[in-house]
């Protein structure tokens, strides 16, 4: 019996079977090792973002902020197992790759009191809590999504129990929260009052707060100077002039390296002190309303809804990259660059310019037609500009329109107006690394064909390809029969 058993183990069949079993064991062991190694790699090494707008990748600005962190940041992802939003999951994996950032998933059902230590807001699935030391910021899930309107509230459509989310703004929210919890002090934006300035909307204030800039009102008639903690002085569309004393205080602030954010609004009154302030930064205010004579540079048939050319600058760079956006400037006033400049250390860079076919209506009161007539100043004109004084360190950004900040106009250009305004505030506060992160569309880019191309593709796929495979099979069959 033993002899037969030993003989069975020596047969060719046994040796072949043992070899196959050993080879299979080696392959399985290699597969286990490779899987363990791949799982240990960061998401950036195992996942390739093929989206045109880098939906599942972090922007360069976010990466610079995270790489420069000198404090530990905890990001708590409040979500139950099995209810993770896939976009959130992939983006948070990218945050977790940085040494100073830890991402932890917390089940709000199992630990209902966890978020209550940091916020009084209702915690919905996929909300995020960012913590560093004693500072924290809670980001509701709805605030990280919008439906093509780029407002701070959540907007979505529900159909057949399916949630359709169109725009992901989560990266901007999370990166802003990281900046907030790691900052020792936040810059303060003071906005001037007392001159009929355009009221600052809640959407503007919320947008500025998102970039970790505090906002306060300022009445210079009751102050001895611009407050010492003023990181940015804003003047939003005055329709009455600055007093001599106010103009002197603002000039002193600028001479000491202050930062100014200015928008202009149409008024029939003369504003000598206000225009002198702009002139000190190398900009001459033409006034009136800019009308576009070139149909390529205005929107919806309205010649006063100008779509200006966007010029190169750190402020505009995020809007002119791979995804190019438009800016709409409604009821904009015209400016030109002074020649010569009032200070040799001054640098003035146009941000937005109208076309050579544009013109200005200096007075719009009682006009029955906005068509160009003799005497109307001709373009091109500067509609927004950035200026910097190398001697004093002062900076100024001026927009020829105050209404461009309104959400209705910003929505017309996918939120680009809002981003431009925030980018200007960041540049003035020298927060270039925080330049606004534009929300990302989830809608797919489809490959489309015209009628003739679609017909050709159909013929190839339904006739040519099957016939080619049939012919190849027939050739192989005939060759084998002849052997």
Q: pLDDT digits over 141-159, tens only?
A: 887 776 544 333 333 333 3
Residue-level pLDDT at 374: 87
What are the helix (H) ranges across 260-335? 272-279
Note the pLDDT of residue 36. Answer: 65
Low-confidence ranges of the chain (pLDDT < 70): 1-21, 23-24, 34-57, 146-167, 199, 321-323, 366-367, 432-454, 483
Cα-Cα end-to-end distance for the chain: 47
CA distance 307 to 324: 13
pLDDT at 156: 38
pLDDT attached to residue 37: 62
Alpha carbon distance 273, 248 (integer Å) = 9
Residue 17 pLDDT: 63
pLDDT for residue 460: 77
Q: What is the pLDDT of residue 202?
A: 72
Which tokens belong to 70? 């000198």
pLDDT at 102: 93
**What local confidence, expressed as pLDDT, does residue 26 receive?**
80
- Do 303 and 370 form a contact (C-beta atoms < 8 A)? yes
Distances (CA, A) of 443 to 8, 155, 168, 326, 446: 65, 15, 10, 19, 9
pLDDT at 312: 92
């Amino acid at each position: 019996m033993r002899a037969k058993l030993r003989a069975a183990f020596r047969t060719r069949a046994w040796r072949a079977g043992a070899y196959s079993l050993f080879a299979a064991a080696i392959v399985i062991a290699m597969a286990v090792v490779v899987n363990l190694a791949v799982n240990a790699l960061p998401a950036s090494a195992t996942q390739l973002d093929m989206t045109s707008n880098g939906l599942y990748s972090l922007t360069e600005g976010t990466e610079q902020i995270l790489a420069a962190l000198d404090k530990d940041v905890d990001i708590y992802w409040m979500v139950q197992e099995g209810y993770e939003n896939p976009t959130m999951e992939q983006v948070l994996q990218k945050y977790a790759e940085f040494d100073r950032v830890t991402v932890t998933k917390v089940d709000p059902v199992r630990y209902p009191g966890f978020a209550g230590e940091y916020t009084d807001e209702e915690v919905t699935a996929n909300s995020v809590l960012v913590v560093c030391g004693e500072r924290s910021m809670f980001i509701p899930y709805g605030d990280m999504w919008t439906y093509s309107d780029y407002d701070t509230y959540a907007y979505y459509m529900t159909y057949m129990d399916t949630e359709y989310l169109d725009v992901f703004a989560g990266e901007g929210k999370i990166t802003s929260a990281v900046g907030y919890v790691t900052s020792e002090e936040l810059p303060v934006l003071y906005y001037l009052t007392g001159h009929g300035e355009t009221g600052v909307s809640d959407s503007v204030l919320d947008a500025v707060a998102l970039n970790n800039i505090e906002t306060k009102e300022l009445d210079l008639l009751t102050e001895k100077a611009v407050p010492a903690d003023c990181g940015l002085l804003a003047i939003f569309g005055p329709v009455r002039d600055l007093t001599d004393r106010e103009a002197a205080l603002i000039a002193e602030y600028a001479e000491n390296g202050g930062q100014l954010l200015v928008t202009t609004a149409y008024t029939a009154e003369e504003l000598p002190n206000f225009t002198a302030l702009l002139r000190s930064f190398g900009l001459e205010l033409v006034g009136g309303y800019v009308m576009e004579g070139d149909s390529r540079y205005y929107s919806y048939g309205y010649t006063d809804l100008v779509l200006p050319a966007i010029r190169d600058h750190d402020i505009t760079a995020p809007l002119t990259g791979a995804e190019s956006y438009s800016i709409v400037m409604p009821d904009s006033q015209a400016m030109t660059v002074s020649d010569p400049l009032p200070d040799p250390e001054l640098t003035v860079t146009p941000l937005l310019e109208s076309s050579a076919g544009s013109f200005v209506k200096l007075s719009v009161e009682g006009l029955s037609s906005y068509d160009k007539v003799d005497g109307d100043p001709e373009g091109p004109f500067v509609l927004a500009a950035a200026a910097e004084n190398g001697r004093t360190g002062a900076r100024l950004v001026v927009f020829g329109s105050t209404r461009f900040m309104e959400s209705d106009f910003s929505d017309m250009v996918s939120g680009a107006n809002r981003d431009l305004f925030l980018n200007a505030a960041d540049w003035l506060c020298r927060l270039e690394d925080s330049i606004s992160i534009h929300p990302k569309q989830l809608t797919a880019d489809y490959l489309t064909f015209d009628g003739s191309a679609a017909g050709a593709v159909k013929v190839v796929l339904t006739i040519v390809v099957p016939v080619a495979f049939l012919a190849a099979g027939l050739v192989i069959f005939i060759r084998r029969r002849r052997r």
